[in-house]
Chains A and B, each alone.
Chain A
Amino acid sequence: NAGVTQTPKFQVLKTGQSMTLQCAQDMNHNSMYWYRQDPGMGLRLIYYSASEGTTDKGEVPNGYNVSRLNKREFSLRLESAAPSQTSVYFCASRPHTGDYGYTFGSGTRLTVV
């Protein structure tokens, strides 16, 4: 099925460990996004990539890095995980910046202990 695929679905990390969350879309979308969702706070933008080869910070970028590997793939890296990064992470894409709604992946539930 066409859409946005995220891996892994669940992950438990110890404080200080690193990991990369993977995201791939097969809809030929130009723009890709990483959000985190915390109870009562709504979705908050971490980083985005308006097009292949570009990345920019969102609202809450501290502690994260991203790589737009090609048009399909956009990864999110936690270099040294902290308990405050416990959250559900969503990747999203849309054809290009502008008026289109996002297509979201199913999320990665990350717990940092």
Chain B
Amino acid sequence: EDQVTQSPEALRLQEGESSSLNCSYTVSGLRGLFWYRQDPGKGPEFLFTLYSAGEEKEKERLKATLTKKESFLHITAPKPEDSATYLCAVQAGRGNNNDMRFGAGTRLTVKP
């Protein structure tokens, strides 16, 4: 069965303190790994899709990387507005491409 585990569950950073969030996955034939940002009381917002090991994507202070077993979301010099829950999801390459499994998320708090 496909599994996605995110760590840590919660992370508190000072403004400017860089760090990384981890997403470990087990899937039969990875078709894509997705990162989302979710603010309190809102739906998740799509950030990136990664397709193969070694791939990297960047958006402002965020950079996502992918290996065969895990993905990292690196946050460089975070600001308070980066505070949110970050969700990781994997999609298997089998079947009809609707097997997207989400992790429980990492709740990031950035203090000024």
Q: Give residues in A with beta carbon < 8 Å to B.
A: 4, 31, 33, 35, 40-45, 48, 50, 56, 58, 90, 92, 97-107
- Given A56-B98, A106-B42, A101 and B34 contact (CB-CB distance below 8 Å): yes
- Given A42-B4, A97-B98, A103 and B105 contact (CB-CB distance below 8 Å): no
Q: Which residues of B contact A50 (CB under 8 A)?
A: 96, 98
Main secondary structure of the interface of B (DSSP, over half): strand
Residues of B in contact, count (CB < 8 Å)? 26
B87 in the interface (beta carbon within 8 A): yes
B45 in the interface (beta carbon within 8 A): yes
Q: List 23 A-B contacts (CB under 8 A).
A: A35-B102, A40-B104, A42-B4, A42-B105, A44-B102, A45-B98, A48-B98, A50-B96, A56-B98, A58-B98, A97-B98, A98-B31, A100-B49, A101-B47, A101-B48, A102-B36, A103-B46, A104-B43, A104-B44, A106-B41, A106-B42, A107-B41, A107-B42
Q: Which residues of B contact A33 (CB under 8 A)?
A: 98
User: Which of A58, A97, A106 has most B Cβ within 10 Å?
Assistant: A97
On whether the beta carbons of B98 and A42 are closer than 8 Å, the reply is no
Chain A proximity of B74: nearest CB distance (Å): 19
